[in-house]
């Protein structure tokens, strides 16, 4: 394998130096800025130039574990001395990887608790890198609680993410609690809420959401600014133009009545008692399915309600004139119905879920590829295969939404323009989701701007 000479951009050198200077660092990098090679360069320096650390643990999404960290180490000439052991797979495979003599051990986040509490392997890592820090935003999760138990043993910690506050400022507390053990935003979530938020939506004594106090954002940013840098790709790279397009589709009167009837019936079943997150989520899920054109019945079978989005998708693919198109879906019946329509049109396609299908896409062999945001949000480089993404069904998660878009709109994209299409069903929950994503993005953009590195 031919290794490449690493010639860091100015911002990459700045970020590497920042990690080396600070025992705690939060690196908020837009997708495509090379956060892995930035961090690996710092790790290499700390291991072999400064002799400051001896054993490094990286916790990352599964696909990033298997497809990114080892490959990036192998790619660059200056990292040839680093030995990386990837601890994924069966328990036997993970244990074998953890017992190998290495500099860096990479494990997927789902196995954090297993590593700390069940593996029997001593937790003697003196540096911790959390790739996608935002996956530790839930302070009640087992992975968060397990990692907090051993956090005092680690003298250096790096948190990497491009989406730190995808659901608002409340997400930040757990992430920074893990980084600095509560020095900046406090040791307890209750005090964080009291200091920076007011109760918003509530039912009696039950509070469902909080809103920031006046000036809370600035105060929070000031607190975390000394260990945090952020950078946007558009500030430092010649990025292609990003074009967002909405394609509204209209239901017939009968179809809209059917949607409204389902919405009314589901809401009515909730009026007799307390509305919980669980049944609110169930209602949202059903309405999203209806907006997309099919809904699961009580027997688990999908019942088609309309084909408006499929018709619009067909038109968009036709307008692409053979140019490769990536289609993001959410529900299984979305994928099934899209596949049936493409087969009927004799359009070759595949699901992007295996290394060989990803290779075929990047080689330009596929006119259409289907992608699920939850399985392909992080770590995939798909920019070589095309520059057009169509959202058939939306997600409430800003993180998955942005990460999926960034599979195409990133460094290395040869097209001058990346086009993100959204097929939206009028007068349905689609309109609320696209609005909510925009609102969340404003919150996150404020965070990014507030702690942006002054290069």
Compute the distance between CA of residue 181 and CA of residue 2 in angstroms, rounded to an integer. Answer: 42
Which percentage of the chain shows pLDDT scores above 90? Answer: 58
The predicted structure's pLDDT at residue 214: 92
pLDDT above 60 for 419: yes
Nearest to 32 by CA among 5, 6, 9: 9
Compute the distance between CA of residue 202 and CA of residue 212 in angstroms, rounded to an integer. Answer: 15
Q: Around Cβ 49, how many Cβ atoms within 10 Å?
A: 9
Reported confidence tier of residue 127, pLDDT bands at 50, 70, 90: very high
> Domains of the chain: which residue ranges?
10-234, 241-254+306-446
Phi, psi of 197 (to 5 degrees): -135, 160
Compute the distance between CA of residue 74 and CA of residue 360 in angstroms, rounded to an integer. Answer: 22
pLDDT above 90 for 67: no
The second-level CATH assignment, the architecture, of 10-234 is 3-Layer(aba) Sandwich (3.40)
Mapped onto helix, strand or coil, the DSSP state of residue 323 is: coil
Quick: pLDDT tens for 79-94: 999 999 999 999 999 9
Let me know: does 59 contact 131? Beta carbons within 8 Å. Answer: yes
- Mean pLDDT along residues 123-138: 95
Task: Say which residue, 444 or 284, is predicted with more confidence.
Answer: 284
Let me know: does 437 contact 405? Beta carbons within 8 Å. Answer: no
Quick: pLDDT tens for 231-278: 876 677 677 888 898 999 999 998 998 888 877 776 545 444 443 444
User: Distance between alpha carbon 70 and the CA centroid of its chain, in Å?
Assistant: 20
Let me know: does 382 contact 358? Beta carbons within 8 Å. Answer: yes
* Helix-helix angle 429-450:398-405, to 10 degrees: 80
- Mean pLDDT along residues 198-218: 86
The predicted structure's pLDDT at residue 168: 81
Strand 197-199 vs strand 210-212: parallel, antiparallel, or unpaired?
antiparallel
Q: What is the DSSP string of 169-193?
A: GGGHHHHHHHHHTTTTT-S-HHHHH
Query: With 0-12 CB in 10 A as exposed, 13-18 as middle and 19+ as buried, what is 277?
Result: exposed
DSSP state for residue 454 in the 8-state scheme: -
Q: Fold match between 10-234 and 241-254+306-446?
A: yes
- Assign domain 241-254+306-446 to its CATH superfamily: P-loop containing nucleotide triphosphate hydrolases (3.40.50.300)
The end-to-end CA distance of the chain, in Å, is: 35
CB under 8 Å to 105, separation ≥6 — which residues? 55, 56, 57, 58, 84, 85, 87, 97, 98, 125
Strand 302-304 vs strand 294-296: parallel, antiparallel, or unpaired?
antiparallel
Reported as half-sphere exposure (CB side, CA atoms, 13 A), residue 325 has a value of 25
Compute the distance between CA of residue 441 and CA of residue 433 in angstroms, rounded to an integer. Answer: 12
Q: Around Cβ 9, how many Cβ atoms within 10 Å?
A: 15
């Amino acid at each position: 394998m031919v290794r490449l000479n690493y010639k860091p951009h100015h911002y990459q050198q700045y970020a590497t130096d920042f990690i080396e200077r600070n025992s705690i660092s939060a690196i908020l990098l837009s997708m495509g800025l090379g956060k892995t090679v930035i961090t690996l360069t710092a790790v290499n320096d700390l291991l072999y130039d400064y002799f400051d650390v001896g054993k490094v643990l990286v916790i990352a999404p599964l696909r990033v574990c298997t497809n990114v960290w080892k490959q990036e180490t192998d790619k660059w000439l200056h990292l040839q001395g680093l030995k990386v052991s990837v601890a994924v797979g069966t328990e036997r495979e993970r244990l074998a990887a953890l017992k190998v003599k290495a500099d860096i051990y990479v494990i997927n986040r789902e196995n954090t608790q297993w590593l700390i509490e069940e593996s029997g392997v001593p937790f003697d890592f003196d540096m911790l890198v959390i790739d996608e820090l935002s996956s530790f935003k839930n302070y009640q999760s087992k992975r968060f609680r397990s990692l907090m138990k051993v956090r005092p043993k680690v003298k250096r910690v790096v948190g990497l993410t491009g989406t730190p506050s995808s659901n608002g400022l409340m997400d930040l507390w757990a992430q920074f609690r893990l980084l600095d053990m509560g020095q900046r935003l406090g040791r307890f979530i209750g005090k964080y809420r009291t200091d920076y938020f007011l109760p918003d939506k509530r039912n009696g004594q039950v509070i469902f959401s909080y809103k920031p106090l006046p000036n809370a954002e600035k105060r929070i940013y000031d607190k975390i600014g000394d260990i945090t840098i952020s950078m946007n790709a558009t500030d430092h790279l010649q990025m292609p133009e990003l074009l967002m397009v909405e394609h509204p589709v209209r239901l017939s009167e009968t179809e809209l009545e059917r949607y409204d009837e389902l919405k009314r019936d589901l809401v009515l079943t909730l009026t007799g008692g307390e509305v919980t997150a669980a049944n609110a989520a169930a209602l949202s899920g059903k309405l999203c399915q209806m907006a997309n054109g099919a809904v699961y019945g009580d027997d688990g079978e999908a019942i088609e309600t309309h084909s408006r989005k499929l018709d619009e998708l067909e038109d968009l693919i036709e307008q692409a004139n053979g140019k490769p198109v990536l289609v993001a879906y959410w529900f299984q019946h979305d994928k099934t119905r899209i596949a049936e329509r493409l087969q009927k049109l004799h359009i070759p396609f595949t699901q992007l879920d295996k290394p060989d299908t990803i290779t075929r896409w990047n080689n330009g062999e596929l006119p259409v590829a289907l992608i699920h945001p939850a399985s392909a949000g992080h770590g995939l480089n798909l920019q070589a295969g095309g520059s057009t993404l169509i959202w058939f069904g939306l997600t409430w998660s800003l993180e998955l939404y942005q990460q999926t878009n960034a599979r195409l709109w990133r460094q290395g994209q040869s097209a001058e323009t990346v086009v993100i299409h959204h097929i939206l069903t009028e007068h349905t929950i689609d309109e609320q989701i696209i609005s909510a994503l925009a609102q969340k993005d404003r919150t996150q953009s404020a965070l990014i701007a507030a702690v942006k590195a002054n290069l």
